[in-house]
Chains A and B, each alone.
Chain A
Amino acid sequence: MSAGRWLDAGVVGAADAVAAGAVTAEALVGEALGRLRSDPHNAVLHVDGEAALEAAQQVDAARAAGEALGPLAGVPVALKDNLCQRGTPTTCASRLLEGWVAPYDAHVVERLRAAGAMLVAKTNMDEFAMGSSNETSAFGPVKNPWDPARAPGGSSGGSAAAVAARLVPGALGSDTGGSVRQPAAFCGLFALKPTYGRVSRYGLVAFASSLDQVGPFARSARDGARLFAAIAGRDGRDATSADAPSADWEGACARGVEGLRVGVPRALLEGASAGVRARIDAALEALKDAGATLVDVTLPHAKHGVSVYYLVAPAEASSNLARFDGVRYGLRVEEGGGLDAMYEATRARFGPEVKRRILLGTYALSAGYYDAYYLRAQKVRTLIRRDYDAAFEACDVVATPTAPTVAFPLGERTDDPLTMYLSDVYTLPASLAGLPAISTPAGLSEGLPTGLQLVGRAFDEATLFAAAGALEKAFGPLPSPVPAGPGEHAGEEGAS
C-alpha cells in the first residue's frame, strides 16, 4: 500500500502503520510534503521539508534499531503560524513578523517533537489570530476545501483546511474565542479547545492571554485525543499552566454516552440558521439514542459573551502587541524622523482588523474608561462562568451549534465586523469561562459541514471525547471534500 493511503488513515492510523513497519516515516513525510507544496487552498505559509525529512529518517532509524517509538512517531503535523518553532519562520500571518525566524520552540512544539511528530508546515491564519474567516491574513485568505468560494473559518483556518484537504492527518491551532472550533465546524473536523491552563501557552504568540489555548484538529475524536495527550500538561514557564491529572482520552472516545446528561440551552439555539438547527437536533437525537439524556438548561448571561469578549480580548491584545515596535525583531519601517516616527510607520503596517482591536483595547484600558469597560467586562465574565457552574448541577455537557451558520462566502462579511463577530456567538462563552469545548461534525447541510459544540466541566475533556466518539459512531464519517490526490489519495476513511 502506498504512503498516500497511510497518510489518509489519520493520526492514529499513520502512527500505527509506522510502528508496524507498513510505511516508513520518510515516505509518509514525503507524501505530505508533496501535497503541502501543491496546496490549492492557500492553507500553508511555510513548508519545512528538509528538517522534516531528516526527522523522519531518525524515526526510521530508531525503528530499525528496535527503539521504542513515540505515540506520534512519523506522523506529519502542521502548526498554526503563531506557534514558535525553532529555526522556522513564525509570521502570525502579519507583515510585522514577516521573515522572523523563531529562535526557540513553543512548549507544544517540544512536546510534539518528543512524541515523534513530523513538523512539516506552518499554516495560514487570521493576522495575529484576529478574525473568524481567515480573511485578515496578510498573505491572502484560505479557501474552504468543501467550497473554495467559502471561508474555512478562523482564525485557525489554515490548519483546518490543511487537515480537511488531507495534506496532513492532524494539526494544531489556537483558540481564543472559537478559533479552532468554528473552523472545525466549517471544515467538517474534530477540534478541541482545552480547559484554560491545560496546555502551556509558552511559545504561542499571545493574542488574549487570559483566553488563548492551543488545541488539535483531526478528522476523528480519537486522532484529536492522540494529539491532545501529546501537548497537555503542566509547564513551569507558563504561570497560568495547571497541574491537572491527565486521563485516557483516546480510550474515552470509545466509552459511549450511557447516562450522560446533555444540557441544551434552547433559547440560544434560536439564533442558528434552520439548516444548522436541523443538524443539531439530529445530533442531539443521536446522542439520546446512544444512551444520553437531554436536559434543558439556561445560560442567562451567555448573550453578553460577544460584548464581554470584544472588550477583554482587544484590551489584552493591545498590550500583547505592543512589543511589535520595530526595535528588536520583525518589520522596521524608517521613513525619516525620530523614534516616534519609526514606531508609527512600523505599526501602521498592521492590518485593519488588528488595528481596530488595538484601538478598541487601548480605549478600554484608558484612564477614566477602565472601570466602565474592562472592569465591568471582567465582572460579567464571572457571571458567565457562574451560569455554567449552575448548568453543570443538572448536566455533564452543554450542547449548542458551534457556529450559527455553515461556512459563509469569502468576502461576505469583511466590511461588516459586527456580523463577523457574531459568528463567534456560540464559542465565546466557553472561552470566557475557561472551560473545555469541542466541535464535532454534525453532518452536512446543503453539502456543507456543520458542527456540534459541547462544553464540559473544567479539566473534564474526557467526557467531551466520549460524546464526540459516540456521535461519530452514530453518524459515520463525512465524505472527503477533496478528490483523490497524488498517488492513491482516496476518499475513503481509514481504509486498511
Chain B
Amino acid sequence: MSAWEAVVGLEVHAQLRTRTKLFCACPNEFGAPPNTHVCPVCLGLPGALPAPNEAAIDLALRAALALGGEVRERSVFARKSYFYPDLAKGYQISQFALPIIEGGAVPMALEGEARSAALTRIHLEEDAAKNLHVQGETVVDFNRAGTPLIEIVGEPVLRSGAEAEAYLRALREVLVFIGVNDGNLEEGSFRCDANVSIRPKGEERLGTRVELKNINSFRFVRKAIDHEVARQAALRESGGEVVQETRTWDERQERTVAMRGKEEAHDYRYFPDPDLPPLVVDAARLARAEETLPELPAAMRARWVETLGLTAQDAGVLAAHPAIAAYFEAVATGLGEAAGLKPAKAGKKAANFVMAEVLRETATEGVEARFPAAAPEVAALLALVEDGTINGKIAKEVFAKMVATGEPPKTIVEREGLAQVTDTAAIEAVVREVLAANPKQVEQYRGGKTAVLGFFVGQVMKATRGQANPKAVNEILRALLAEG
C-alpha cells in the first residue's frame, strides 16, 4: 500500500453541437478545408464584434440541468488576454468571475458502485484556432476559432487514474446523450486536462500540482495520471520536490514529459467584455431548456430494467450509445404494438435480437450510427416470429437477407416460401413417417427414455427443412408416441 494519496481534478473542454459558432454565423463543423469557415468576427478583423449564439447558451443550460448545476441568472463574459497566433483577437472570450453554471456533479459508477464527483463550475467560452506545422512553417487554421465550448471544471475529488477514466466516461456519456457534445476525443471535440498532485495519506493540505495537458484517449488519461502519481511519489520519496509545471503524456515512452517552452506566470488580465452585455437567463428560459432535456442514460437504464425486462448488463450495452438506445426503443415499441406483447416481453425479445444480430452489423461514428436495417423492419421481423409465421432460426436467415437486399421481411418470407408449416395434418404425416422409420427410438421412448423426443424433433425439422412449427411438432409427437 502506498503512503501517498493522489488528488486529481479534471478540466474538460466540450464543444457544443450548434449549427454555427459562438459569436458569428460561420458553420461549426469539423473537417472543412482550412480557413473556409471564417468571417471578420472569428478572424478578429478590426471592427468586428461578437453576437452571442443563443443555441449555444441553451445547450449550456441543458448541461447544467443534466449535471445538477446551479444556473446563474446573470453571468458575464470576460476577456482572457494573452498573445498567441491561434488567438485572433489577442484575447479569448470566456467567463471568469461570474460563470453561467456553478456546482453540479458527474454521476458515475465505480466498480459497480454508484458515486458522484462534484463539479466546481461550468462556463461558456470560444475555442481558439489551430496551429498547424507544415513543412517547417507554422500556419493557422481559423475554422475552429470561435467554436462554442463549455469548460467543465471538476473538484479535486478523484483518487486514481481509474477514477478519472470512469469520471470522464460518465461525463461524456451524459453530454452525448443530451445532444450537447459529440464525444469525439480524436477530433478534439471532447478534451481533457488533469490537475494532479499527491499528499501523504491523512493529510488535508494539497501538494504542488502538475497540469497534464492534451491527453486524447480514456486509456491515456488513466495511464498518464497513474504514471504521474507514481513519478511524484518517487520524487518525494527520494527527497525531491514536485515542481508546478505543465506536462503531457508521451505514449511511446509511457511516461509524462514536461512540455517545451518556458513556464511564464500568466496574468490573463480578465475583465468583463464590454462588447457583450451580461448574459441573463430567466426562469422561463430555464423551463424551456428543461422541457427539451432528453432522458439521461442512468434513468433510461433503470427504466429499461424496470419496465422492459432487461438485465442491468443488457441495459448497459444498449444505452452505451444514444443512437443505439433510440434504435432499441423503437424495435421494442414496434414489436410490442405489432404483436400485442406486454412491454417487458417485447423489450426482452427486442434486446436479445438487437444485441445478438443487429449490433454486429452496426457502425457508430460520434453520435451517429449506421444500422443494417431500419428499426420498424426489425420489429416487423420479430412480430413474424411472434405470430408463428416463422421461427427464430428462420428469422436470422431472413434478417441476413434483409441486410443484403434491403427488402422488408414479409417480402422475403413470401418469396422464399419460408413461412413455417403450421398445418397439423401435414406435420402429422411427416411425424408418422419419422416414427415409422425409427422403430428402435420409439421403443426407447415408450420404455421411459423420453429424452429421445429431441431426436424425433430434429428429424421432423430436418424433413421439413426447418419450416415446421416446433411447438406443433412437439405436441403431435407426444400425442402419437402416447397412442402406443
With most chain B CB atoms within 10 A of its CB, the pick from A90, A100, A203, A239 is A239
Contact of A329 with B52 in the complex, beta carbons under 8 Å: no
7 smallest beta-carbon distances between A and B, as pairs: A322-B90, A209-B274, A210-B274, A365-B269, A205-B46, A203-B47, A84-B47
Q: Does A327 contact B (CB under 8 A)?
A: yes
Measured in the bound complex, the distance between the Cα atoms of B91 and A322 in whole Å is: 7
Q: Are A201 and B49 in contact (CB under 8 A)?
A: yes
Q: Which residues of B contact A316 (CB under 8 A)?
A: 274
A293 CB within 8 Å of chain B: no
Q: Out of A104, A210, A325, A367, name the residue touching B269 (CB < 8 Å).
A: A367
Chain A residues whose C-beta falls within 8 Å of the C-beta of B271 in the assembled complex? 315, 319, 365, 370, 374
Q: Give Cα distance in the complex from A318 to B81, angstroms.
A: 10
Please name 20 further chain A to chain B contacts, defined as beta carbons within 8 Å, in addition to the given A102-B46, A325-B90, A329-B46, sorted by A numbering. Answer: A90-B46, A100-B46, A106-B47, A201-B49, A203-B47, A206-B275, A208-B274, A209-B274, A209-B275, A236-B51, A237-B41, A239-B277, A318-B269, A319-B269, A322-B90, A323-B89, A323-B90, A327-B85, A328-B44, A328-B140
Distance (whole angstroms) from the CB of A130 to the closest CB of chain B: 15
Contacting residues of chain A (365-387) with chain B, CB-CB under 8 angstroms: 365-367, 370, 374
CB distance from A92 to the nearest CB of B (A): 7
B267–A323 touching, CB < 8 Å: no
List which B38-79 residues lie within 8 A (CB) of chain A.
Answer: 40-41, 43-52, 79
- Secondary structure type dominating chain A contacts: loop
| C-alpha gap A325/B140 in the complex (Å) | 14
Q: Would you call B83 an interface residue if the criterion is a C-beta within 8 Å of the partner chain's C-beta atoms? A: yes
Q: Is A97 an interface residue (CB 8 A)?
A: yes
Instruction: Tell whether, in the assembled complex, residue A104 and residue B40 are in contact, meaning their CB atoms are under 8 Å apart.
Output: yes
Which residues of chain B are near A100, meaning CB under 8 Å?
46
Q: Cβ of A362 < 8 Å from any Cβ of B?
A: yes
Chain A CB within 8 A of B88 CB: yes
Q: How many residues of A contact B (CB 8 A)?
A: 45
Contact A202 B90 (CB under 8 A): no
Given contacts A319-B91, A322-B83, A323-B44, contact A237 B269 (CB under 8 A): no
Judge whether B47 and A202 touch: CB under 8 Å. yes
The distance in angstroms between the C-alpha atoms of A328 and B393, with both chains bound, is: 66
Chain A nearest CB, measured from B256 CB (Å): 26
Contacts A/B (CB < 8 Å), 7 sampled: A106-B47, A205-B46, A239-B52, A318-B269, A319-B79, A321-B90, A322-B91
User: CA A238 – CA B273 in complex, angstroms?
Assistant: 13
For residue B276, CB closer than 8 A to chain A, the reply is yes
Tell me the minimal C-beta distance from A235 to chain B in angstroms: 9
Complex interface bits, B238-269 against A, C-beta within 8 A gives 1, otherwise 0: 00000000000000000000000000000101
In-complex Cβ contact of A322 among B81, B140, B274 (8 A): B81
Residues of A contacting B267 in the complex (Cβ-Cβ under 8 angstroms): 366-367
Shortest distance from the beta carbon of B410 to any chain A beta carbon, whole Å = 54
Q: What's the Cα separation between A56 and B49 when bound, in Å?
A: 31
A residues 308-354 near B (Cβ < 8 Å) are: 315-316, 318-319, 321-325, 327-329, 339, 343
B49 touches A202 (CB 8 A): yes
Q: A319-B90, A362-B269 are in contact. Are A239 and B51 (CB under 8 A)?
A: yes
**Is A204 engaged at the interface, CB distance under 8 Å to the other chain?**
yes
Separation of A100 and B41 alpha carbons in the complex (Å)? 17
Q: Does A240 contact B (CB under 8 A)?
A: yes
Contacts of A323 in B (CB 8 A): 44, 46, 88-90
Partner of B277 from A240, A362, A365 at Cβ < 8 Å? A240
Q: Which residue numbers of A lie inside 8 Å of B, CB to CB? A: 82-84, 90, 92, 97, 100, 102-104, 106, 201-206, 208-210, 236-240, 315-316, 318-319, 321-325, 327-329, 339, 343, 362, 365-367, 370, 374
Assembly CA distance A208 to B85 (angstroms): 23
Residues of A near B274 (CB, < 8 A) are 208-210, 240, 316
Chain A residues whose C-beta falls within 8 Å of the C-beta of B52 in the assembled complex: 239
Q: Tell me whether B79 and A237 are in contact (CB under 8 A).
A: no
Q: Taking the nearest CB of chain A, how far is it from the CB of B207, in angstroms? A: 24
Chain A positions within 8 Å of B46 at CB level: 84, 90, 92, 97, 100, 102, 205-206, 323-324, 329
- The answer to whether B276 touches A239 (Cβ under 8 A) is yes
Q: How far is the CB of A87 from chain B (nearest CB, A)?
A: 14
Q: Which residue of A lies closest to B50 (CB)?
A: A239
State how many angstroms separate the Cβ of B98 from the closest Cβ of chain A. Answer: 13
> Which of B43, B47, B91 lies in contact with A102, CB distance below 8 A?
B47
Q: Which partner residue on chain A sits nearest B43 by CB separation?
A: A328
Closest chain A residue to B275, Cβ basis: A209
Least Cβ–Cβ distance between A482 and chain B, in angstroms: 32
Given contacts A201-B49, A316-B274, contact A322 B89 (CB under 8 A): yes
Q: Considering the chains assembled together, what is the distance between the CA atoms of A238 and B79 in angstroms?
A: 17
- Residues of chain A within 8 A of B81, CB atoms compared: 319, 322, 365
Distance from A109 Cβ to chain B, minimum over Cβ atoms (Å):
10
A206 touches B47 (CB 8 A): yes
Contacts of B89 in A (CB 8 A): 322-323
A366-B269 contact given A239-B275, A323-B88, CB 8 Å threshold: yes
Q: With A104-B40, A319-B91, A327-B85 known to touch, is A238 a contact of B51 (CB < 8 Å)? A: yes
State how many angstroms separate the Cβ of A369 from the closest Cβ of chain B.
Answer: 10
